[in-house]
């Protein structure tokens, strides 16, 4: 299960690993620009809107702060590590 408060919904499952993947705004803007073929300003507006929605949704249903590292077993910075390395780390955890 990905997103939508999965860390909260599945917190009672013993074999559940809660992972939060984040990146700084510059990395996220660049990624959205490339993926959606939009301008810097459009990408920034999209990200800010999405973050606002995620924050509200998460806090409303869980009464916790979205993105708080205490809610997860593992937090990865995809801006620093790269997306492929994050995937590799997660695969290593599950395959070993």
Q: What is the pLDDT of residues 39-54, one digit of tens each?
A: 999 999 999 999 999 9
In degrees, rounded to 5, the angle at the alpha carbon of residue 88 between the alpha carbons of residues 92 and 6 is 80
Coil, strand or helix at 83: helix
Mean pLDDT per 10-residue interval, the chain, length 96 residues: 81 87 97 97 97 93 88 94 97 88
Buried residues in 11-48 as b, exposed as e (16+ CB within 10 A): eeeeeeeebbbebeeebbbebbbeeeeeeeeebbebee
At residue 1, the pLDDT reads: 66
Q: Which domains does the chain have, with CATH numbers?
A: 6-95 (3.40.50.300)
Place of tokens 């009672």: 12
């Amino acid at each position: 299960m990905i997103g939508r408060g999965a860390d909260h919904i599945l917190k009672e499952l013993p074999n559940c690993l809660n992972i939060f993947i984040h990146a700084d705004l510059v990395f996220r803007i660049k990624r959205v620009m490339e993926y959606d073929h939009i301008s810097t300003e459009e990408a920034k507006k999209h990200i800010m809107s999405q973050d606002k929605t995620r924050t509200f949704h998460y806090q409303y249903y869980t009464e916790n702060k979205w993105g708080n590292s205490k809610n997860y077993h593992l937090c990865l910075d995809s801006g620093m590590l790269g997306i492929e390395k994050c995937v590799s780390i997660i695969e290593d955890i599950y395959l070993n």
